[in-house]
């Protein structure tokens, strides 16, 4: 349990002024230190680094002034100021100065928080909005895309500062609520699930390719228009050799939108005992989306089962990977399927069943209309084939009140106050009075609830959160959606805030599948996984960057985080772990033997592996590079910010970035050399560059390298980290991965570097705790928070350093329990 700062939390607004007055005197005492050791460079005349202490007032109530003093504190506390070459204060002088200034800043900040709370009024972000409305209504309709993008602040889109409101936002809330209600109010007749089976050997297009005699001209006047048979017919299957055309369009006929169960049977053909990856897409001719990929066993049929949400009439499309060309580089197009001796995918059949509906009429009607009965329309009376159910309450006004009160109660995540639903009921009854039908009138009240401040905003009061606010904070932290009945029940009987109850709830919530939202949304932002598709790797330099790899990368990092969370492994595993979460594609990429199949599982790494931890995961290495080159500066800054919690300042104005050059004459390392020599650059770059140097042995897709790749010239080598052995690259200059940290400790490469990072596990834990607190509470880490975060990290470390332990520590900390 984290120690609270008891006195401070109760200092009111008046206290702020008193504190400011007292601190003015304290500042005068400190004036001597500043005068003796700082004023030489930071006076009105020199203003080095833009800091003029003569003009720096003591007005902490102004955020900019507070930040300026916090920066003075930080630079002195870290021993960066005064600079080594200047007169140094005696250790006890520095200590007194740091303690005095730090104490004042901390007291002031804590008092400000006690009076105002850390987190300002926060609204649902669009991810939370979507999940909340979906859960509230029992629908699956995507809604986030309808809302304006949120601007992350302090690295996360849960931070209140960045979550602005505008007219545009209101306009889109109205539209999104409409779309959600359209989906929820589904009165259509129940869809009958149908079964369809597709046999490759009977498909029209496949038969055409197989049965048309080779060489037959499609255009009699064009001798080059001769037919090519590209598929091979086996007794039980049809073999696809090519990665592109002709891919299998699985035509199972027309179908409505919905959830489908799909079974596919296929196997690897003449693949030399190796599995052949099969990619399965949903396709509507305009765009196709990968549903998944599967390593299909050699020679023995494997049946894959997929559950997929399909739009109306959308079909499946199946394509093999690692096929297409034989060892001599010949294709099936040149040789014909009978003489072609390269791997292929033998596709047998596909079964599709759906749409699957769990309950009809859908549960969403009950969520929206409460107790109002949904009745089946008498077959005789059906006028519109699309409508089979109706709502005809005997007393529409009473029914509206019941339904809206129950809906608002859930939407507002707390019990309604007396009369609170009246305005919404009024909207609906006004409509009924004006002659609107029940459903139409209800929609207006429902839309108003979904646009109301009680729904969109989190009501929190300075000081300790009330039980319902706590239930919401917990639920949005770990589930990104509204609290369930159990949480609300504990809030209702005021037991939720008890440490043991909180602990049990966190355990329950983390064990619940809904916690995947936390894993996805937190890692997506902490580790920038949301940017995975921001750049596409240069196909000529990185031909092995296939869809399977990119797809697996994000999964790797998410499952890695999830595993550390589940097993309560130490947070230092994010720096170095003896295991990795791999499937066959990632294992090939990393050169880890013996991993087969597309399913990600935990693999113990060989002792000499460069992998382990997040820094060496392909996803992180990809999002910290562009598609062509890597930059130690960019990666180094990323490591400082994300893993060490020490973001470097942005580059000074007027300094141009280094121009990447892939022609092979110089390496980025050579171009960066001046950082080490120019003193003005070195101040920051001696910190920024080293992590980037250590990571230079990984290319833009996280492959291990000893030499850079370059265009068109240089030694050609076959790429080993791909299922396709024909891929090759040109090699350029060697990579240099050694360096030294700002404190002078040297490293030879990534393994050494990780060891150096691990000598200070506290820093790693603090950085992660800071990120988690920011994400969980919707506010960045302020000056006073820093100390609590340190305590969270320290007590986590004391209890074994586990991630799960850290989450418990955070939830039980005053940062989480107070506004």
Could you tell me if residue 116 is left (phi over 0), alpha (psi between -120 and 50 degrees) or otherwise beta? alpha
3-state secondary structure 227-296: CCCCCEECCCCEEECCCCCCCEEECCCCCCCEEEEEEEEEEEECCCCCCEEEEEEEECCCCEEEEEEEEE
Spatial distance between the Cα atoms of 404 and 615, rounded to a whole number of angstroms: 50
Does 188 bind other proteins (CB under 8 A)? Our answer is no
Within 601-640, the residues that bind other proteins by CB under 8 A are: 626-629, 634
φ/ψ of 340, rounded to 5, equals -85, 120
Smallest distance from other proteins to CB 124, Å:
13
Segment 768 to 797, residues that bind other proteins, using CB under 8 A = 780
**Which residues in 272-311 contact other proteins (CB under 8 A)?**
286-287
| Among the listed residues 65, 426, 751, 763, the single contact to other proteins using CB under 8 A | 426
Site for other proteins, residues 350 to 409, rule: CB under 8 A: none
Task: Report the nearest approach of other proteins to the CB of residue 569 (Å).
Answer: 30
Binding flag, residue 169, other proteins (CB under 8 A):
yes
189, 246, 462, 597: which one binds other proteins (CB under 8 A): 462
- Cα 721–chain centre separation: 26
C-beta closer to other proteins: residue 31 or 728: 728
Candidates 83-91, 167-175, 360-368, 719-727 — which segment interacts with other proteins by CB under 8 A? 167-175
Q: Which helix (H) or strand (E) holds 305?
A: strand 302-310
Residue 790 backbone phi and psi in degrees, to 5: -60, -40
The answer to whether 416 contacts other proteins (rule: CB under 8 A) is: no
In DSSP terms, 710 is beta-bridged to 730
> In whole angstroms, what is the distance from residue 577 CA to residue 572 CA?
8
Residue 651 is a binding residue for other proteins (CB under 8 A): yes
- Comparing C-alpha atoms, which of 270, 255, 253, 246 is closest to residue 318? 246
Residue 154 touching other proteins (CB under 8 A): yes
Contact call for residue 68 and other proteins (CB under 8 A): no
Query: Cis link prior to 63 (omega < 30° from 0)?
Result: no
Choose between 297 and 774: whose C-beta lies nearer to other proteins. Answer: 774
Instruction: Report if residue 663 touches other proteins, rule: CB under 8 A.
Output: yes
720 binds other proteins (CB under 8 A): no
Among the listed ranges 100-108, 113-121, 546-554, 793-801, the one in contact with other proteins (CB under 8 A) is 113-121
Cβ 259 to other proteins shortest distance, Å: 27
The phi, psi pair for 247, rounded to 5°, reads: -85, 155
Residue 533 touching other proteins (CB under 8 A): yes
Residue 535 or 736 with smaller CB distance to other proteins: 535
Residue 18 Cα distances to 14, 60, 462, angstroms: 7, 12, 20
- Compare residues 97 and 412 and give the one whose CB is closer to other proteins: 412
Binding residues for other proteins, total number by CB under 8 A: 73
**Spatial distance between the Cα atoms of 425 and 416, rounded to a whole number of angstroms:** 13
Q: Is the peptide bond before 246 cis (omega within 30 degrees of 0)?
A: yes
3-state SS, one letter per residue, for 450-485: HHCHHHHEECCCCCECCHHHHHHHHHHHHCCCCCCH
Based on the shown chain and the rule CB under 8 A, indicate whether residue 678 belongs to the binding site for other proteins: no
- Quote the CA–CA distance of 731 and 724 in Å, as a whole number: 18
Applying CB under 8 A, the span of 208-216, 245-253, 307-315, 650-658 interacting with other proteins comes to 650-658
Q: Does 79 bind other proteins (CB under 8 A)?
A: no
Pick from 1, 18, 22, 174 the residue near other proteins by CB under 8 A: 174
Query: Does 121 help bind other proteins (rule: CB under 8 A)?
Result: yes
**Shortest distance in whole angstroms from residue 116 CB to other proteins:** 4
**Residue 210 contacts other proteins per CB under 8 A:** no
Q: What is the DSSP letter of 153?
A: B
Nearest to 363 by CA among 185, 142, 192, 483: 185
Least distance CB 238 / other proteins (angstroms): 30
- Which of 160, 332, 510, 592 touches other proteins by CB under 8 A? 160
| Nearest to 459, CA basis, from 450, 451, 467 | 467
User: Least separation, in Å, of the C-beta of 128 and other proteins?
Assistant: 16
Question: Is position 670 an interface residue for other proteins (rule: CB under 8 A)?
Answer: no
Minimum distance of other proteins from residue 100's CB (angstroms):
27
Does the protein bind other proteins through residue 65 (CB under 8 A)? no
Report the first-to-last Cα separation within the chain, whole angstroms. Answer: 18
**Binding other proteins by CB under 8 A: which of 12, 215, 415, 453?**
453
Q: Is 142 in the site for other proteins (CB under 8 A)?
A: no
Query: How far is it, in rounded angstroms, from Cα 300 to Cα 276?
Result: 12
Q: How far is the CB of 443 from other proteins (least distance, A)?
A: 8
Among the listed residues 225, 224, 230, the one whose alpha carbon sits nearest the alpha carbon of residue 205? 230
Q: How far apart are CA 346 and CA 278, in angstroms?
A: 10
Q: Binding residue for other proteins (CB under 8 A) from 184, 368, 448, 487?
A: 448
Question: Which residue's CB is nearer to other proteins, number 391 or number 450?
Answer: 450
> Would you say 82 or 770 has its CB closer to other proteins?
770
**Smallest distance, Å, CB 482 to other proteins?**
18
Q: Does 151 bind other proteins (CB under 8 A)?
A: yes
């Amino acid at each position: 349990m984290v120690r609270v700062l008891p006195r401070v939390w109760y200092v009111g607004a008046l206290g702020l002024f008193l504190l400011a007055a007292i601190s003015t005197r304290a500042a005068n005492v400190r004036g001597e230190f500043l005068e003796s050791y700082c004023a030489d460079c930071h006076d009105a005349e020199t203003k080095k680094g833009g800091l003029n202490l003569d003009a720096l007032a003591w007005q902490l109530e102004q955020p900019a002034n507070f930040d300026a003093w916090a920066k003075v504190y930080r630079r002195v506390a870290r021993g960066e100021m005064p600079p080594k070459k200047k007169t140094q204060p005696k250790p006890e002088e520095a200590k007194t100065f740091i303690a005095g200034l730090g104490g004042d800043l901390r007291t002031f900040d804590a008092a400000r928080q006690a009076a105002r709370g850390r987190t300002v009024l926060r609204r649902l972000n669009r991810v939370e909005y979507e999940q909340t409305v979906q859960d509230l209504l029992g629908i699956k309709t995507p809604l986030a895309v309808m809302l304006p993008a949120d601007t992350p602040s302090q690295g996360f889109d849960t931070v209140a500062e960045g979550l602005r409101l505008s007219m545009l936002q209101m306009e889109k809330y109205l539209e999104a609520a409409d779309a959600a209600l359209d989906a929820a109010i589904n009165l259509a007749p129940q869809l009958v699930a149908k079964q369809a089976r597709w046999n490759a050997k009977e498909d029209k297009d496949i038969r055409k390719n197989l049965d048309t005699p080779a060489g037959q001209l499609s255009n009699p006047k064009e001798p080059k228009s001769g037919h090519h048979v590209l598929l091979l017919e086996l007794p039980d299957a049809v073999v696809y050799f090519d990665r592109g055309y002709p891919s299998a369009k699985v035509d199972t006929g027309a179908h409505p939108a919905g959830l489908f169960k799909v079974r596919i049977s296929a196997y690897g053909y003449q693949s030399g005992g190796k599995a052949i990856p099969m990619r399965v897409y949903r396709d509507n001719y305009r765009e196709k989306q990968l549903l998944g990929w599967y390593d299909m066993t050699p020679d023995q049929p494997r049946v894959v089962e997929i559950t997929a949400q399909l739009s109306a009439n959308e079909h499946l499309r199946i394509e093999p990977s690692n096929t297409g060309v034989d060892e001599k580089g010949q294709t099936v197009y040149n040789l014909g399927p009978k003489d072609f001796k390269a791997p292929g995918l033998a596709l047998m059949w596909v079964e599709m069943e759906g749409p699957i509906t769990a309950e009809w009429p859908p549960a969403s009607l009950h969520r929206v209309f409460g107790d109002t009965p949904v009745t089946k329309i008498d077959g005789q009376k059906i006028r519109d084939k699309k409508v089979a159910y109706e709502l005809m309450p005997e007393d529409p006004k009473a029914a509206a009140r019941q339904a809206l009160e129950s809906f608002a109660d859930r939407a507002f995540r707390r019990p309604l106050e007396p009369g609170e639903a009246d305005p919404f009921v009024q909207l609906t009854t006004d409509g009924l009075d004006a002659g609107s039908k029940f459903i139409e009138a209800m929609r207006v009240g429902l839309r108003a609830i979904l646009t109301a401040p009680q729904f969109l905003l989190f009501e929190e009061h300075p000081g300790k959160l009330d039980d319902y606010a706590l239930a919401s904070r917990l639920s949005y932290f770990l589930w990104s959606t509204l609290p369930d009945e159990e949480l609300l029940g504990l809030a209702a009987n005021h037991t939720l805030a008890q440490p043991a109850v909180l602990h049990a709830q966190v355990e329950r919530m983390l064990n619940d599948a809904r916690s995947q939202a936390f894993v996805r949304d937190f890692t997506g932002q902490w580790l920038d996984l949301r940017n995975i598709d921001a750049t596409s790797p240069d196909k000529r330099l990185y031909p092995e960057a296939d869809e399977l790899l990119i797809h697996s990368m994000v999964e790797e990092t998410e499952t890695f985080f999830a595993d550390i969370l589940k097993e309560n492994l130490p947070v230092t595993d994010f720096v170095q772990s003896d295991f990795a979460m791999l499937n066959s594609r990632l294992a090939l990429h990393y050169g880890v033997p013996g991993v087969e199949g597309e399913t990600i599982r935990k693999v113990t790494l060989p002792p000499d592996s460069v992998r382990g931890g997040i820094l060496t995961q392909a996803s992180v290495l990809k999002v910290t590079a562009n598609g062509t080159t890597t930059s130690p500066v960019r990666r180094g800054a990323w490591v400082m910010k994300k893993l060490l919690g020490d973001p470097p300042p942005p580059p000074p104005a007027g300094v141009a970035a280094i121009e990447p050059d892939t022609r092979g004459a110089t390496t980025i390392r050579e171009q960066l050399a001046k950082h080490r020599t120019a003193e003005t650059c070195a101040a920051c770059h001696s910190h920024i560059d080293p992590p980037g140097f250590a990571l230079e042995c990984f290319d833009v897709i996280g492959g291990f390298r000893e030499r850079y790749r370059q265009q068109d010239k240089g030694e050609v080598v076959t790429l080993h980290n791909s299922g396709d052995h024909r891929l090759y690259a040109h090699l350029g200059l060697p990579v240099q991965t050694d360096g030294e940290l700002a404190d002078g400790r040297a490293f030879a490469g990534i393994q050494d570097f990780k060891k150096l990072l691990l000598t200070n596990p506290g820093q790693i834990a603090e950085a992660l705790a800071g990120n988690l607190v920011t994400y969980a509470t919707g506010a960045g880490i302020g000056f006073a928070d820093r100390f609590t975060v340190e305590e969270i990290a320290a007590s986590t470390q004391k209890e074994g350093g586990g991630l799960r332990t850290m989450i418990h520590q955070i939830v039980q900390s005053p940062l989480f329990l107070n506004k």
